[in-house]
């Protein structure tokens, strides 16, 4: 279960420069298909999650920080009982107003036991993330910026994944009638401490034909892009990219036993489109956005030859009535799965929110996801649908209920359905939860 910090609340403590807020939630859950066991029999569990946050929004510096603890107890599967810590900070750089320099810093740490659909298992994980970015306006039309990102996921049993990156950009704006020039270099380092855990999951007969090694990759990408307004605030950009990836040859060839490495070099030309799909001036009740590009992934999984693909998302939100909001979205992304295989995710989702009176909100969502794995013959189709009801009892207290339906289908052959808790399966899952929360 995710911890959500309150957007607005009466502060527990009012300080001259900010507010301290305590948000405590108690949630009881029924899960009809308990992922993480051999028989997947139903279970009940409860989670108590207090979160203490501080927010400062005065002057040029914005600061938001929080610390929380999620205590979870299971009725049958007590081995998953946990006390999970989470903490985070997000702030802008303390610079003088009107300065040429601007920047941000963010860091989060989270302990959790998550349901991993790729592994079909319930996995204990510790996650650390941080990002730092700074931008300096070197002239009236030129800007130099740099951003550093780091993510480390430590998973029990399944090993660790670490991805670090640095993105350096030089921008020259507003020449040749609103045309922008962008030059950038991106360095990415990807490492894992364990090989894949999916060989025998998708087909045991193919174990010897798929590499089973940790990932160790470095990628250098060089891009030059020219951007120009296409229509209104919709921006089109043509980008030429050149990428060099250095990695172990074992990652793509199971027959290699020595420590040789390979340098994969590739180039691409892509068209990126960003901006609102519909002009707000003509459609004031509609919010829209789109971002589409054609690219390669800088972190590739085992047996992934690095094919290019279209990625991005498009969203529409319509305030149909004063209390009714409808939304629709499509997206496509490339990620590195927890089993060290590349995954292409294509999803479509829809939602509706209805405010009932002054204290009640009813919402419904539905999504369908196509998940395709590169380097192995595996495809998953996942249908998710849910309905949630939230009601405010007083200024500080609220209650809510949530129902989620999930249907998972995979093309895994019958030989992959083994007697192990992390086997692939086709299943239907129902999850019902009730929550009472207090905010001060």
Residue 65 tokens read as 């920080």
Residue 253 tokens read as 């060839």
Rounded Cα–Cα distance for residues 433 and 429 (Å): 13
pLDDT in tens, 160-208: 999 999 999 999 998 888 899 999 999 999 999 887 765 555 555 666 6
pLDDT > 70? residue 390: yes
pLDDT in tens, 77-122: 999 999 999 999 999 887 777 789 999 999 999 999 989 888 888 8
Rounded Cα–Cα distance for residues 65 and 15 (Å): 15
Q: HSE-up of 159 (CA within 13 Å, CB side)?
A: 17
pLDDT greater at residue 246 or residue 295: 246
Rounded Cα–Cα distance for residues 244 and 186 (Å): 11
Q: What is the pTM of this model?
A: 0.86
Q: Pick the closest to residue 103 from 131, 135, 129 (CA basis).
A: 135
Beta bridge partners of 245: 219, 264
> Of 67-81, 288-302, 336-350, which range is least confident?
288-302
Q: Pick the closest to residue 167 from 191, 141, 190, 149 (CA basis).
A: 149
The answer to whether 129 and 148 are in contact (CB under 8 A) is no
Give helix then strand counts, H and E, for the chain. Answer: 1, 21
Residue 256 tokens read as 């290699």
DSSP 279-308: -TTT-TTEEEEEEEEEE--SS--TT-----
The answer to whether 182 and 169 are in contact (CB under 8 A) is yes
Q: How many CB atoms lie within 10 A of CB 123?
A: 20
Angle of CA points 390, 391, 392, to nearest 5°: 130
* Tokens 């989060």, residue located: 108
Rounded Cα–Cα distance for residues 333 and 369 (Å): 11
pLDDT greater at residue 59 or residue 163: 163
Report for 13-27, 92-106, 342-356: range of highest mean pLDDT: 342-356
Rounded Cα–Cα distance for residues 302 and 166 (Å): 23
pLDDT at 6: 42
* Tokens 């299971």, residue located: 74
Rounded Cα–Cα distance for residues 266 and 400 (Å): 51
* Tokens 């192995």, residue located: 376
Instruction: Give the end-to-end CA distance of the chain in Å, rounded to a whole number.
Output: 21
Chain centroid, CA 248 distance in Å:
27
pLDDT at 200: 55
pLDDT in tens, 250-282: 888 878 888 889 999 988 888 888 888 888 888
Chain centroid, CA 44 distance in Å:
27
Cα Rg of the chain, angstroms? 24
pLDDT at 4: 42
Chain centroid, CA 391 distance in Å:
28
Rounded Cα–Cα distance for residues 67 and 50 (Å): 9
């Amino acid at each position: 279960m995710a911890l959500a910090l309150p957007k607005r609340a009466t502060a527990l403590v009012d300080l001259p420069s900010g507010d301290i807020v305590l948000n405590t939630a108690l949630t009881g859950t029924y899960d009809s298909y308990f992922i993480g066991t051999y028989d997947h029999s139903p279970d009940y569990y409860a989670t108590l999650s207090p979160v203490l946050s501080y927010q400062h929004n005065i002057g040029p510096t914005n600061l938001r920080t929080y610390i929380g603890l999620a205590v979870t107890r299971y009725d049958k599967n007590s081995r998953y009982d946990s006390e999970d810590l989470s903490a985070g900070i997000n702030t802008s750089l303390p610079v003088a107003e009107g300065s040429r320099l601007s920047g941000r810093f963010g860091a989060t740490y989270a302990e959790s036991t998550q349901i991993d659909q790729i592994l079909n298992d319930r996995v204990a994980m510790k996650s650390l993330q941080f990002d730092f970015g700074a931008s300096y306006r070197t002239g009236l039309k030129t800007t130099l910026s740099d951003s550093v990102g780091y993510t480390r996921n430590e998973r029990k049993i399944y090993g660790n994944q670490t991805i670090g990156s640095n993105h350096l950009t030089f921008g020259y704006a507003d020449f040749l009638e609103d045309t922008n020039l962008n030059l950038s270099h991106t360095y990415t380092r990807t490492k894992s401490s364990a090989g894949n855990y999916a060989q025998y999951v998708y087909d045991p007969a193919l174990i010897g034909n798929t590499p089973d090694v940790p990932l160790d990759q470095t990628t250098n990408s060089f891009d030059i892009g020219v951007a120009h307004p296409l229509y209104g605030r919709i921006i089109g950009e043509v980008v030429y990219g050149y990428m060099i990836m250095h990695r172990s040859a074992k990652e793509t060839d199971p027959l290699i036993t020595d420590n040789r490495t390979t340098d994969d070099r590739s180039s691409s030309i892509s068209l990126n489109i960003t901006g609102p799909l519909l002009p707000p001036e003509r459609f004031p009740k509609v919010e829209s956005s789109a971002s589409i590009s054609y690219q390669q992934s800088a972190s590739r999984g085992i047996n992934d030859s690095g094919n290019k693909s279209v990625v991005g998302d498009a969203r529409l939100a319509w305030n149909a009535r004063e209390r009714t909001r409808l939304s629709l979205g499509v997206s496509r992304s490339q990620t590195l799965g927890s089993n060290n295989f590349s995954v292409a995710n294509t999803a479509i989702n829809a939602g509706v929110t209805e405010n009932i009176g002054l204290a009640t909100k009813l919402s419904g969502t539905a999504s369908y996801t196509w998940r395709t794995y590169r380097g192995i013959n595996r495809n998953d189709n996942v249908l998710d649908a849910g309905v949630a009801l939230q009601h405010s009892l007083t200024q500080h207290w609220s209650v809510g209920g949530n129902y989620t339906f999930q249907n998972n289908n995979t093309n895994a052959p019958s030989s992959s359905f083994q007697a192990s808790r992390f086997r692939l399966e086709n299943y239907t899952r129902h999850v019902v939860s009730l929550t009472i929360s207090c905010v001060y």
